[in-house]
Homo-oligomer: A and B are copies of this chain.
Amino acid sequence: MTSPVRVFAPASVSNLGPGFDVLGLAVERPGDVVEAECSSGPGLEILEITGDGGQLSRDAARNVAGVAAASVLAALRARGLATPPVLPGVRLRVHKQMPLASGLGSSAASSVAGAMAVNELFGAPLSKHELLPHALAGERAAAGFGHADNAAPCLLGGIVLIRGYEPLDVLQLPVPPALRVVVVHPHARVETSRARALLRGYGFPIEQAVANLGNLGAFVAALYRNDLELLGRAVEDRMVEPLRTPLIPGYLEVKQAASRAGALGCSISGSGPSVFALAADDGTAETVAGAMRRAFLDAAGLDSEAYIGPVNAAGAKRVARCA
């Protein structure tokens, strides 16, 4: 029998302003942990989920970590690895360490951690890039479509662009060393399905698309140039942000507070309600985080947590079991 393994997969900020469904970055924390161990049963089961307040299914076929893990297990078996009776089954423990429906890529983190944990359990025969489609199988179970703008940065680390899905074309972009990311999570929920439903059937005027195209291009160029001022100017979303602003109480006040406190740019993290800001140093990031939290409280009566740090370069990783 192989030894049990434990994998940490970080939260991620997708969209990043102009890049709806195509841009995302990983943060240092929060994140989810999945433990995997071999079992005598033939299939994959979830022994335990903690930190979800009882909201997630323990049925592995209906849980994103379970779906992603089962997808990896099937792939390993197809390669002649992890074949019964030598390694008959896998048991998972899922430790949710971030809020659900928060805009922080919670389902992606669980999917990635589940997929990677099974791969690590059997000696990591698959590369991270090979694991990505399996993590997306988990995302598909959660959202109906396997969007990669959370799962890819969560798994690979860094700042990631999804060029397209047919075939899946994922680019890792340079990360400016001084860049700091502030993510503020107010105590409110926005269901991704509701945030996406707003966009279904909506027709965007060409001018809005052009604005986002210009900013998306500038965002990518700014990363290669290590130009934080340009990066901040490029965090501008004329398409989706206006539609989703009403879902987040106090959003405009929070954005204004971030700007006044010195943020380079600020927008909605994923489908919200978390809001992210970019800053050029730790001190400014702290100031921005404080201003954003105060604005959530003053404008909408919402408590919040703030997470501050550099972009997470490593992405998902195996951690010591007693971490």
Contacts and interface: CB of A to CB of B under 8 A. Distances in A.
Interface in A198-248: 199-206, 209-221, 224, 230, 233-234, 236, 239-240
A213 to B, nearest CB: 5
A13 to B, nearest CB: 16
A62 interface: no
Interface string A66-89: 000000000000000000000000
A22 interface: yes
Contacts of A217: 19, 22-23, 161, 163, 171, 216-217, 219-220
Contacts of A234: 163
Nearest to A198: B206
Interface in A286-322: none
Interface residues of A, number: 41
B163 A21 contact: no
Nearest to A163: B218
A213 B20 contact: yes
A3 B210 CA distance: 43
A18 B212 CA distance: 12
26 contacts: A19-B213, A20-B209, A21-B206, A21-B210, A22-B217, A161-B217, A161-B218, A163-B215, A163-B217, A163-B218, A163-B234, A164-B211, A164-B215, A164-B236, A169-B233, A171-B221, A199-B206, A203-B203, A203-B205, A204-B205, A213-B216, A216-B217, A217-B219, A220-B224, A221-B224, A224-B224
Interface of A: 18-23, 161-164, 169, 171, 173, 199-206, 209-221, 224, 230, 233-234, 236, 239-240
